[in-house]
Amino acid sequence: MVSPKDQQLAWVRAILAHLGGISANELAQRAKIAPSTIQRPLNEPDWPNALSGTTMAKIAAVAGLQPLEFPPRSGGLGEPEATPFQYDQDANAIGSNLDRAVRELCRGRNGRDPWVMRSRMLEMSGILPGDILIVDLNLQPRPKDIVCAQMYQWPLMKAETVFRVYEPPYLLTNSGSTSRPVPVDDQDVIIRGVVDGLIRPRQ
């Protein structure tokens, strides 16, 4: 279950991305609050305090939104929700450190696939566009797991890979959107695996 504090932090990260990938320090300056008010909850996992209502209101005002109102999804209608992670062919490339981290999480275990999240469908679970999700194809999904699923359109011979929260027997988004639950029927909607790892590249 996502805690209120985790929802707040997911919302703040979405605001940072929405404003062009600005830093927490810049957001604090725009909102006229102390930088540590935002930085400490974001950077210290054990930080006990949630953001106050006043702080949330100031951050929301900077973004032109209401508190806990997530920015609209970006991108065109034809863009996928997630894409397979592409490894660099050049071991000396700038992204090679990221490649090594992904390989390390996948090494030694069969059936582990890395994917790059492109949508905001799970932003209230703290998953944002650009996050790399490690999917274990051998795990059995449990309630509230984040899963990788395929939705088939058989007449069009198309399949879409999506990431959702599993609440048997449905798949749910977690973005504050009005998307309807999708039943898992193992024919048109099939769960491929369970997310059990996440890497957030440095912006």
| Ramachandran area for residue 46 (φ above 0: left; ψ -120 to 50: alpha; else beta) | alpha
Average per-residue pLDDT for the chain: 83
Tell me the Cα Rg of the chain: 18
- Average pLDDT, stretch 32-50? 88
pLDDT at residue 2 above 70? no
DSSP state letter for 195: E
Question: pTM, whole model, 2 decimals?
Answer: 0.60
Q: Which residues of 4-40 are buried (b: 16+ CB within 10 A; e: fewer)?
A: eeebbbbbbbbbbbbbeebebebbbeebebeeebbbe
Where do the domains of the chain lie, and which CATH numbers do they carry? 4-63 (1.10.260.40), 82-199 (2.10.109.10)
pLDDT tens for 154-198 read: 666 677 889 999 999 999 987 655 567 889 998 889 999 999 999
pLDDT at residue 134 above 80? yes
